[in-house]
Structure 1
Amino acid sequence: MSNYAEIREKFEKSGQGHVFKYWGGLTDSQKSRLLSQLEEVDLEEIAHLNETLLFANKTESQVDFSRLEPAPYVKYSENKEADPVWQKAKSVGEEAIRAGKLAAFVVAGGQGTRLGYDAPKGTLPISPVKHKPFFQIFAEKIRCAQEKYGVEIPFMVMTSIINHTQICDFFKSNACFGLNPEKVVFFKQGFIPSVDKFGKIILSDKGEIALAPNGHGGCLRAMVRSGAIAKLKELGVEYISYFQVDNPLVNIIDPYFLGFHILGNSEMSSKMIPKAYPLEKVGHFCIYNGKLCVIEYSDLPASYQEMRDENGGLKFVAGSVAIHILNVDFVEAKGADDSDCKLPFHVAFKKVPFLDQGGNVVKPEKPNGYKYEMFVFDALESAKNPLVLEGLRCDEFSAVKNKEGIDSPATCKRDQKRQFAEWLEAAGVSLERDSEKTPVYDIEISPLFASNKADFVEKWNALEKKPEIRDGLYIE
């Protein structure tokens, strides 16, 4: 612990010396852990965030909503195969994929705590028949694309300090689900201390500070700092397919999306899904001060979320579902430590475990601390030619956020079954569905057979002997 004196002096000078309050009673291992945490803390950044976000006391939104307009987007084509614009995009996208210019990237730093699952969220069993975890579904979708396009596709997995070892071990014990281990890149998301109303770093235990993820926007910084971007450049990768770990329906390797991104000469493009109902908890793609941005549902007044256009539809209908394509060069520029165009931090008032005056750990029932985080969609405002493409909910999106009810494992499995049923029906198969259009029995189609409807229909029709449609049907 030769660095103890130096670190303590830095924290004392910054007004954060209280983190050493219980130092004398810590074991050697606890002291070592605390010092390793403190070494990672950027005290100048914390002081700047306290000054500009916490002490500025900006209680009201800085957005003049009267100047907000819905963002334009490329509308989904119901007949893509006959649409020359979509076919051109597909051709360009497929050419880039075959040339090895696309990598997949999943943000997977969280645990399944809210779901009652004590492990990394990506390891949660989620498919309806084989109960495959998220990570396996994603890996199989990438393998499907690799076989189709004759190329190895790098897969980047952003973990966190709370689950990095578990995730790496999970992939290793499953032989990377058939992917080349050398092309699966793991790196940790950044963390930042939570602070109290005075800007003081919160102790979550006597030898531990309260660290929180720095938001999904921290992935840009993490990709650069970890060397992941440098590795992608070595491999000749130019584009990154970004998605989050809780959405098994995501179309990871989408040639249409990539093609529109390339043809639009965009640095960052996004998928949008029309909102299912006015107050759905998704961000909204908007134009503000002439720039594309995302306004979170928690920041947009309900009157705007419910606002109608001249045709009676929702005015702000374009929902953000965390599906993007980013240029590697753009990420490198935005994520660099010396960048002049870093993503901004936001402050959120949250429940943070803390120590009371007696040194006892308290789990608060109400918000008591402030967390600083970055949002990846903030990069849209500085991206050249940002583009938004419409996708279909049934093809693209079914997130798992809650243990029960809406956006739960149950609704996600239902949506997967509906997708598989739609593919089978497109191939001429008759299926029995209930009043909510869900198949009455469990079925599952592996991405190793097909990862989209068009490919499924082609492969199904080529089968000499087709399987019986029954409960528990699994097609691989």
Structure 2
Amino acid sequence: MTDVRKSFIEAGQSQLFQNWDSLSCKDQEKLLSNLEQISSKRSPARLLEDCQNAIKLSETNSSKDAGAEIQPLPSTSYESLIGNSDKENEYFQVGLEAIGKGEVAVILMAGGQGTRLGSSQPKGCYDIGLPSKKSLFQIQAEKLIRLQDMIKDNRVEIPWYIMTSGPTRAATEAYFQERDYFGLNKGQITFFNQGTLPAFDLSGEHFLMKDPVSLSQSPDGNGGLYRAIKDNKLNEDFEKRGVKHVYMYCVDNVLSRMADPVFIGFAIKHGFELATKAVRKRDAHEAVGLIATKNSKPCVIEYSEISHELAKRRTKKVY
């Protein structure tokens, strides 16, 4: 345990031990144990370095950077199906065939609480005000059932992986159990937790304390999904089930087409390893991001990062 304390002090985090002498022996052990859990995966120095790099990347990753070259994606990388019913039907059949073979799974990112919605429950439990009073979870479960019913020649159960967090895991599982999994088979649903990361001050130079014996931690966001897939061995489960394609979405996207056969068929037909779906922008200043390239690399430019000049551009060469 002395090595744990030493590693944090050497990383410039002596503030974590400013109350050390006033702590009981039990609380001293608890503090060191909590710090050890944090540092067992990555050293304090590495965590700080990662945070600093993220801050630098954020500062330089704005489209307002005069030196950045923002251009549309290559024409071979995207397609619009608006007004193209033949292509839409073609992709639909390809996607539906993959679903019928059991090759498609769905991942739902549902780790958040409904705090901003005025609810203490997991966000997926929220009643969005429909006459039916159905929650987000119920709406999405019924979409999955409907899609399964579309497979006429084979009884298929689409695996549904639901990412929760520490504060929402128990409540989410209880919600599904109390409602008999909304008619789905319990065995096709897998709950798993997203990871957490320690919180830093705005400079990214110091860890923040939750209380005298533990660091403040927060869920690692949607970007932590891939680590969570690895840590929870979901990739091994994909292989065991024969899953080749995974459709991912966020719980508050109530309009999401679960395991959308058209979208999946599009990705399969073109051999894309990764694909994303977007709505067409209605006007220059609509608050939606852009999928484009920055310095010849694919990127997403948030609407808050788009300069006024860039937002108005309409030429074929540059957004």
Give the TM-score taking structure 2 as reference length: 0.85
Q: Look up the match of 1:14.
A: 11
**Structure 2 CA distance for aligned equivalents of residues 74 and 182 of structure 1:** 36
Which of 135, 141, 156 is matched with 1:151 structurally?
Answer: 156
User: For 1:380-408, what per-residue CA distance to the aligned partner results, in whole angstroms no more than 9, with x for missing partners?
Assistant: xxxxxxxxxxxxxxxxxxxxxxxxxxxxx
Which of 263, 268, 293 is matched with 2:274 structurally?
Answer: 268
**Structure 1 CA distance for aligned equivalents of residues 36 and 289 of structure 2:** 34
The aligned amino acid for 2:269 is L
Q: Look up the match of 1:168.
A: 173
**Structure 2 CA distance for aligned equivalents of residues 240 and 294 of structure 1:** 21
**Structure 1 CA distance for aligned equivalents of residues 31 and 145 of structure 2:** 39
The aligned amino acid for 1:286 is A
Measured after TM superposition, the shift of residue 32 of structure 1 is 4.4
**Structure 1 CA distance for aligned equivalents of residues 137 and 32 of structure 2:** 32
Measured after TM superposition, the shift of residue 199 of structure 1 is 0.8
Measured after TM superposition, the shift of residue 286 of structure 1 is 0.6
Shift of the 151–127 alpha-carbon distance from structure 1 to 2, 3 Å rule, reads farther
For the pair 1:49 / 2:57, whether they are aligned, the reply is: no
**Structure 2 CA distance for aligned equivalents of residues 65 and 123 of structure 1:** 45
Equivalent residue of 2:50, what SS? Answer: helix
Q: Look up the match of 1:97.
A: 99
Q: Look up the match of 1:352.
A: none
**Structure 2 CA distance for aligned equivalents of residues 56 and 94 of structure 1:** 40
Shift of the 20–96 alpha-carbon distance from structure 1 to 2, 3 Å rule, reads same
**Structure 2 CA distance for aligned equivalents of residues 29 and 275 of structure 1:** 55
Measured after TM superposition, the shift of residue 113 of structure 1 is 1.3
For the pair 1:249 / 2:264, whether they are aligned, the reply is: no
User: For 1:116-171, what per-residue CA distance to the aligned partner results, in whole angstroms no more than 9, with x for missing partners?
Assistant: 21221111112511211111111111111122223010101111122222222222
Equivalent residue of 1:40, what SS? Answer: helix
Gaps of 5+ in 2: none
Q: Look up the match of 1:130.
A: 132
Q: Look up the match of 1:365.
A: none
For the pair 1:304 / 2:310, whether they are aligned, the reply is: yes
Q: What percentage of aligned pairs have identical amino acids?
A: 31
Task: Confirm or deny: 8 A CA contact 1:185 1:228 kept in the other structure.
Answer: no
For the pair 1:208 / 2:206, whether they are aligned, the reply is: no
Shift of the 37–276 alpha-carbon distance from structure 1 to 2, 3 Å rule, reads farther
CA RMSD of aligned residues (A): 2.8
**Structure 2 CA distance for aligned equivalents of residues 30 and 128 of structure 1:** 52
Q: Between the two structures, name the one with larger relative contact order (CA 8 Å, sep ≥ 6).
A: 2
**Structure 1 CA distance for aligned equivalents of residues 172 and 140 of structure 2:** 14
Equivalent residue of 2:9, what SS? Answer: helix
User: For 1:59-115, what per-residue CA distance to the aligned partner results, in whole angstroms no more than 9, with x for missing partners?
Assistant: 6748556621123431123352xx1x3332122111100000111111111111112
Measured after TM superposition, the shift of residue 29 of structure 1 is 8.4
Task: Confirm or deny: 8 A CA contact 1:54 1:199 kept in the other structure.
Answer: no
Which of 169, 173, 194 is matched with 1:189 structurally?
Answer: 194
Structure with the largest fraction of strand: 1
1:363-374 equivalences in 2 (<5 Å): none
Equivalent residue of 1:75, what SS? Answer: coil
Give the TM-score taking structure 1 as reference length: 0.58
The aligned amino acid for 1:46 is L
Q: How many residues align?
A: 306
Q: Look up the match of 2:205.
A: 199
Task: Confirm or deny: 8 A CA contact 1:34 1:209 kept in the other structure.
Answer: no
Equivalent residue of 1:86, what SS? Answer: helix
The aligned amino acid for 2:150 is K
Structure with the largest fraction of helix: 2
Q: Look up the match of 2:115.
A: 113
For the pair 1:231 / 2:233, whether they are aligned, the reply is: no
